[in-house]
Chain A
Amino acid sequence: MSSSFAAGDESVFERLQQRADPKVLEEQQNAVNERMQAIYQKAQSRLAELIDENSTLPCTISSVQVTSAPHTRRSFLERSLSPLLSENKGRPYTLSEALREVSATADKLGRFDLFHQPISVYLDESQGHNGMRNIDVYLATREKSRVLLKTGTDLGNAEGSAYGNLLWRNVFGGAETLNLNASLGTRTRSAYQAAFETPILGDPDFRLEVGGIASSTQKSWASHEEVVKGGWSKLRWISKSGHRHELGYNGFWRQLTGLAESASPTVRADAGDSVKSSIFHSWVNDQRDNALLPSRGYYAKAFNEVAGIGPLKGDVSFWKSEIETQGAIPIPVPGIKGDSGVSFTTGFRAGLLYPLGLDSNSRPQLSRVNDRFLLGGPTDVRGFRLCGLGPREGADSLGGDVYAAGSANLLFPLPRLGAEKPVRFQAFLNGGRLLPLRTSQKATPTTNGEVQDAMISTLSELQNGLPSIAAGFGIVYAHPVARFELNFSLPLVLRKGEEGRKGLQLGIGINFL
């Protein structure tokens, strides 16, 4: 015994001096983790069992308490929470039903953007009358700060600006928000915006927004400055299947002014005042896994706007319709388990502007430069300068009444960073066309009949020859707030006068083709 002790004596010191074997350490750590996992799972399954056993247990919810909401109106909370109470339900819950409803209500409350996430739910049991189990619900809330003031500077697509933003949450205690925004910049000379938003009928997915704007924007691609004053109101709602809708009215006074010395005759002819009074609807179905760097899923948007007809009045009259789609599929690479990070995305956009008659005047109002579509630039058809596609007069991009554009992008993860990092190498091919409304005789339409003919012949002109195309490659980085792209591109097909871009191009935005 003693000998063995003596023998072990040295080895104890030796062993202490020895570095712990990393393998052993790892094993130990794994064992601990497994143990913890097992305990946790056991607890979970015990809880599940417990709930499961009692899932059909009848119970009532007699009270719901929000622990802290000093700035929120009682009537507002009552409206959103009262459906939970059994007395408003007419019949008792089963336990599982009650738990589901409670969590749905907590989730709904969270979507008002009033409270810090997550909202913890506590349940307490009390003896109810008629012998049923009675649940008291406590929602542990913490209100977000009511006023949020942000100032900063932005550097975007060839634009620098400074901004101040004031967000006032819960203005009247009913989850209303007021958003005031002021910015001064190089391209958007100045912009002041105010928007008031309120949920309707206590539903966070159904909101009314009313806003106003006064801005002045340098539109150097068409040698002028546009001063806009006006307002809008819109209803926004999310359907059960997650489709986002907006329906609203716009009233804007636009002033095309500050023309450059060499402004084109078309821009000169459009200079001055015009009022756009329109109703619009937009529908968005976003099923992408990541909006800025999708690897699977699809996105679809449709926008329609009618201006000037009937009671809308105003100085411009048209129907404007636009669609936008994007699709992404992951590409499996043999030998890599799970997501390889390689993906293929495609985008397609198209739009048309159909001139209508104003008031009783049946003569169609042809489009103005500030209503027409623009195409080209680092965030839509890459490899072209900003608004570099479509009709040009002198140095001015006049825009077009019909357009279509598409892109195909292949994205690869970078070797060292791997697929988890939001950085990709991309190769792309994209192109599009932007056309003015012309009759089959290449004339400007003057009557409704001619407009119809012109729309048909302009749409078929889209397929005349190849579209204007550019191809290239570059790096994509999806920062949480915006997507950055640095591409090298070369134009392959152009129309004379269109401005391709050979070389590097930086794109910053949230909505890329």
Chain B
Amino acid sequence: MPPKGQEGDSSASTDSNSNSFFTVPAPIKRLFDKFPLTTYPANELPQRFQPNTANQLFVFTDARGARHGRPSFNPQCLKWQAYLKFVGIDFDITASNNHASPTGALPFLLPALPADTLNPIPSHKLQKWAIEQVHCEEEQQLNLRFEVYASLLDHRIRHAWLYMLYLDSENFDAVARRLYVEPATTNTVVRAALSHQLQQAARDELLKNSRYIDAADLEGDAGGAFEALSTLLGEDEHFFSRPNPGLFDASVFAYTHLILDDTLGWKKNRLAQLLREHPNLVQHRDRLLKFF
């Protein structure tokens, strides 16, 4: 490759003397600007993965799920994955883990535009970004009851979910270990350490809200929450009688789909029994699954 001559003042290489103890006299600066004498084209990059130019949503999933855009096995990720699908945004999903996220938790999105942007969009800014992209409506503003019902999901159903997935040891070994721990490493010692960390985090989360953990209580609360959601949905296709599914539908679907998904390999699934008592919620889930 022939040298490209004096195109030396690339921004990266002219930042010397940045600490302004003194200003460089003009003749010396002119001399400095002559360096480097030669600049070749940039080095190539080492790449373990193919670069992607589409919108990329980083979620918990496996390689097959990522290829086919299957629903993520993590409720938080699935909620946003479903929402972006419902509002009609094109994106690819990429298997990732919490360490990769700017907030420490998945999901986050790396937008295709502007080109070469490195700044990811964390989940709490995803809705705002989606609204800017496709000019969909912000449901929270349309319906005052949104927040009230959303808190049912974020607390009662989430807590029962945490218990069922992480603290029920049979389910943990059959589902959580396989989905979250085993892909991280092949080393058994590190797997044991990660498993312990996961279970401890779930326990801490539950103990934030109550002084002890009682499975029956958590399941009872979840049952009540399903009841309330079922009543809210009534005979409608989507929540709040909307013509198209939106963020609230995505939030409900994120849990109802995973609870009813037998391919996850649940050993004990009390939440599915409670959920099946409300056929309209099951039908709601089945309808939305067609988006995938």
> Taking beta carbons and an 8 Å cutoff, which residues of A are in contact with B?
253, 255-266, 268-275, 277, 313-315, 366-368, 372, 390-394, 398-401, 434-438, 442, 444, 464-466, 490-503
Contacts and interface: CB of A to CB of B under 8 A. Distances in A.
10 contacts: A258-B99, A260-B102, A262-B119, A269-B48, A314-B186, A367-B46, A492-B36, A494-B40, A500-B36, A502-B13
A491 B46 contact: no
A493 B37 contact: yes
- Chain B contact-residue range equals 35 or more
A253 B45 contact: no
B108 to A, nearest CB: 9
Contact of A259 (B8, B37, B50, B102): B102
B243 interface: no
Contacts of A277: 187
Given A400-B46, A495-B43, A502-B32, A263 B187 contact: no
A271 B110 CA distance: 15
B45 A391 contact: yes
A368 B193 CA distance: 22
A102 to B, nearest CB: 50
Listed from nearest, the 3 A-B pairs whose CB atoms lie closest are: A436-B46, A502-B16, A271-B100
Nearest to A443: B47
B3 interface: yes
A497 B43 contact: yes
A179 B120 CA distance: 43
B61 interface: no
Contact of B46 (A253, A266, A500, A502): A266
B116 to A, nearest CB: 8
B38 A497 contact: no
B39 A496 contact: yes
Contacts of A390: 43
B96 interface: yes
Contacts of A391: 42-46
Nearest to A372: B46
Given A273-B184, A496-B10, A435 B35 contact: no
A509 B51 CA distance: 38
B10 A497 contact: yes
Contacts of B13: 491, 494, 498-500, 502
A464 B40 CA distance: 10
Of the candidates B32, B43, B189, the one having the most CB atoms from chain A within 10 angstroms of its own CB is B43
B46 A495 contact: no
Of the candidates B16, B36, B46, the one having the most CB atoms from chain A within 10 angstroms of its own CB is B46
Contacts of A464: 1
A64 to B, nearest CB: 47
B209 to A, nearest CB: 27
B185 A503 contact: no
B42 A495 contact: yes
A498 B10 CA distance: 9
B42 A366 contact: no
A366 B46 contact: yes
A203 to B, nearest CB: 33
Contacts of B186: 275, 313-315
A297 B15 CA distance: 38
Nearest to B7: A496
A314 B44 contact: no
B17 A272 contact: no
A161 to B, nearest CB: 22
A263 B99 CA distance: 12
B26 interface: no
A494 B45 contact: no
B14 interface: yes
Given A253-B187, A499-B12, A272 B45 contact: no
A314 B187 contact: yes
B41 interface: yes
Nearest to B33: A502
Contacts of B45: 266, 391, 393, 398, 436
B291 interface: no
Contacts of B74: none
B127 interface: no
Contact of B187 (A315, A372, A465): A315
B118 interface: yes
A501 B16 contact: yes
A266 B44 CA distance: 13
B46 A494 contact: no
A273 B185 contact: yes
A96 to B, nearest CB: 58
B39 A392 contact: no
A388 to B, nearest CB: 8
Contacts of A497: 10, 12, 42-43
B292 interface: no
A442 B8 CA distance: 25
B35 A253 contact: no
Of the candidates B35, B97, B120, the one having the most CB atoms from chain A within 10 angstroms of its own CB is B35
A438 B43 CA distance: 11
Interface string B180-201: 0000111101100110000000
Contacts of A444: 46-48, 50
B49 interface: yes
B35 A491 contact: yes
A435 B40 contact: no
A401 B43 CA distance: 12
A400 B184 CA distance: 24
Given A259-B102, A493-B3, A498-B13, 13 more contacts: A259-B100, A261-B120, A268-B120, A272-B96, A273-B97, A275-B190, A315-B185, A391-B44, A436-B45, A438-B44, A493-B36, A494-B39, A495-B40
B118 A262 contact: yes
A496 B48 contact: no
Contacts of B194: 273
Nearest to A437: B46
B184 A264 contact: no
B36 A494 contact: yes
B184 A502 contact: no
Nearest to B42: A496
Interface in B71-128: 96-97, 99-102, 110, 118-120
A146 B36 CA distance: 55
Nearest to A358: B186
A265 B94 CA distance: 12
Contact of A494 (B32, B38, B49, B187): B38
B32 to A, nearest CB: 5
A500 B34 CA distance: 13
A366 B45 CA distance: 12
Contacts of A272: 96-97, 99-100, 184
B74 to A, nearest CB: 15
A500 B10 CA distance: 10
B118 A265 contact: yes
A271 B14 CA distance: 31
Contacts of B16: 501-503
B118 A264 contact: yes
Of the candidates B14, B51, B185, the one having the most CB atoms from chain A within 10 angstroms of its own CB is B185
Contacts of B35: 490-492, 500, 502
Contacts of A261: 102, 119-120
A465 B97 contact: no
